[in-house]
Amino acid sequence: MEEASLKIYNSQVLLPFSLENGNMHAFLGPFIGQNKKKFGNTLLPEDSSTLPFIHSPEIDLSLLRDTTKIFRAFPPVKNTHLEWLLRVENEMSSSWVETGIFEFIQLAKFDLHLFDPQMLLSAIFFWNRETRAFEFPCGFVCPTLLDIAAITGLTPLGDRFHPDVFEEEISIKELSITWDKKTYLAFINAHVGQPGTPVSTSKHIAFLMYWLSACIFCTPSLQVPKYYLTLAQALHLKKKVCLNKLLLASLYTCLDEASESLFKETGP
């Protein structure tokens, strides 16, 4: 605990924090000690399994040292990924603008791995699965549709997407998609096509499936699942799907799963 010990000043603890070169960095602090914490919420039931990080009787800092495995599903930044994106964009940019996803797709061109994984991970300890919010001393903080719109450029308006009732206008038999090549690199190599050849309907839908899997919903399996075909087809056909809502719902689900995972005795 010497390397990653908590810094305590006058019985106040600075949380959440990150570790960098053996030094502690904190934000949103200072926090009062746990023994001085008073609960004033009489509307919501107390649940020890969903209490924020500051209430944890034991703080295991070992998981903050190696975050490679925990964040392995983060969007890829390999050359093949960018080459495919640029090739499809040359022909489909006007379609993306009309669909409302052009600005969002631009984020896939940049290296987003510059984030502080320890800071992000420690903040998740404050997510309460009962209230669906980060519980800080300043109050409740939660992501909204306007936050998603500000970051991604996606409109918070649009049609609700129901995969079970969406009428497929393009039969799966008409698409030349290689379903046995599921990992990201294998999927790219199978559908990128030859330079100079036009981007067909199948190639565009395949790209959208990859983009949804690798850059939007960050599938833990690091593969392109078939269940994104319906959504990719809707975007290809310029349906006014409210992707903003889908992304926000996915974020809430992931925060729930991450919070639950961090409280497991076996670790995340």
The arithmetic mean of pLDDT across residues 222-234, rounded, is 90
69: which 2 tokens?
């495995």
pLDDT given for residue 166 in this prediction: 67
Query: Rounded to whole angstroms, how far apart are CA atoms 92 and 75?
Result: 21
Report pLDDT for 60.
61
Residue 95 has pLDDT above 90, yes or no: yes
pLDDT at site 249: 92
Residue 25 has pLDDT above 70, yes or no: no
Q: Residue 84: its pLDDT value, please?
A: 92
The arithmetic mean of pLDDT across residues 2-6, rounded, is 37
Q: For 36-56, write each residue's pLDDT tens digit.
A: 444 444 554 555 554 444 445
Distances (CA, A) of 169 to 26, 207, 209, 254: 52, 18, 17, 31
Kindly tell me if the per-residue pLDDT of 211 is higher than 90: yes
Report the C-alpha gap between 268 and 255 in whole angstroms: 13
- Helix, strand or coil for residue 183? strand
Contact 3, 22 (CB under 8 A): yes
Question: What pLDDT does residue 128 have?
Answer: 85
**Per-residue model confidence as pLDDT tens digits over 145-170:** 999 999 999 989 888 887 776 666 77
Helical segments of 192-242, H only: 201-211, 229-236
Q: Please indicate whether residue 73 or residue 37 has the higher confidence score (pLDDT).
A: 73
Average pLDDT over residues 108-134: 81
Give the pLDDT score at 93. 94
Q: What is the pLDDT of residue 219?
A: 87
- The pLDDT > 70 percentage for the chain reads 72
pLDDT given at position 205: 93
According to the model, what pLDDT value does residue 178 have?
A: 86
Distances 241 to 140, 210, 236 between C-alpha atoms, Å: 30, 18, 11
Q: What is the pLDDT of residue 9?
A: 33
Q: Which of residues 72 and 132 earns the better pLDDT score?
A: 132
